[in-house]
Amino acid sequence: MAINFHYINKILPTFRCISTSTIKRDAWLSKIFVRKIEPTKESHSRMLSDKEIIYGLQTHNFRADSRTSYLQNMKNHLDLVKSQGTLDGVELVGSWTVNVGDQDQALHLWKFNGGYETIDTYNQIQAENEDFQKLKDEQGKVVRSRHLQYLLAFSYWPQIFLRQPKNIYEIRSYALKPGTMIEWGNNWARAINFRKNNDESFAGFFSQIGRLYNVHHIWCYKDLNARKETRESAWRAPGWDECVAYTVPLIREMHCRIMVPTEFSPTK
């Protein structure tokens, strides 16, 4: 193919007028637009999670003057679950109270091996068992509000393992724009590789029932200073900023909470 040097010489001055700052600006802007996701016949849950395990995230806002009685009620509930031979598939993974964020709040993460069949059995036993009903009535007197979500774990997230001896946890919760869950997963499948050096990635979930298009990332740190150093280290890694730039436009709302494990939490 012949090269038209007359045309090149004609447009070259135009390119020379483009400043370096403009090029950098345009390169940055190209990152913040959401890339198109092609239609698919696969459900989001099948594409993003490969485990037949459901997680339940309970969020309880308890009265400020009832913290001790509330936590005792939850411990009694856990002991009752353990005593039920038919609930072997129900397991408490973590239990925390919030230090920074929505104070007078507790979060409990349950694991249901066997999926929704186990959840159905669990709910039926709770509805029919007088001891469970008594604990539920007692809890109603010390909490201001309760919320439950059923979640799936992202397949690309490292496997959950319980931590020892003493840590703080951060839960970063995101409300995504409808239709962007697969795009979120595509980006975080790469981004998680920047956050594996210190085993800080505890769990990553997306909602199935409850508030939809919700994502929860739970991180584990020795203390707040370790959190600061770990996050700064990620920003120094080439490619992390690009992952952040691609995911920010997908978010409608986000917030984080710093949590500490309860006395009966399996992970510390």
Which structure tokens are listed for 242? 């690009």
Q: Please state the pTM of the whole predicted model.
A: 0.82
For the ranges 38-47, 70-79, 87-96, 103-112, the lowest mean pLDDT is seen at 38-47
The DSSP bridge partners found for residue 214 are 175
What is the SS3 assignment for 100? strand
Top pLDDT among 177 and 50 is at 177
Mean pLDDT over residues 127-151, rounded? 97
Express each pLDDT in 187-215 by its tens digit.
Answer: 999 989 888 777 899 999 999 999 999 99
What local confidence, expressed as pLDDT, does residue 46 receive? 57
Residue 1 has pLDDT above 50, yes or no: no
**Domain-wise residue ranges, the chain:** 47-261
Q: 224 or 34: whose pLDDT is higher?
A: 224
Distance from C-alpha of 242 to C-alpha of 27, rounded to nearest angstrom: 11
Contact 217, 171 (CB under 8 A): yes
153 forms bridges with which residues in the sheet?
205
Confidence of residue 6 (pLDDT cuts 50, 70, 90): very low
Beta strands (DSSP E) in 26-126 are 53-62, 90-100, 105-113
- Report the alpha-carbon distance of residue 21 to residue 34 in Å, rounded: 23
- Which CATH code, of 3.40.605.10, 3.30.70.100, 3.30.360.30, 3.40.50.300, is assigned to 47-261? 3.30.70.100
Arithmetic mean of pLDDT, 224-243: 89
* Average pLDDT value over all residues in the chain: 85
> Per DSSP, what are the bridge partners of residue 201?
219
CA Rg, the chain, in Å? 24
pLDDT of residue 106: 98
110, burial (CB in 10 Å: exposed 0-12, middle 13-18, buried 19+): buried
pLDDT > 70 fraction of the chain, expressed in percent and rounded: 82
Q: Tell whether the model's pLDDT for residue 239 goes beyond 70.
A: yes
Residue 219 has pLDDT above 90, yes or no: yes
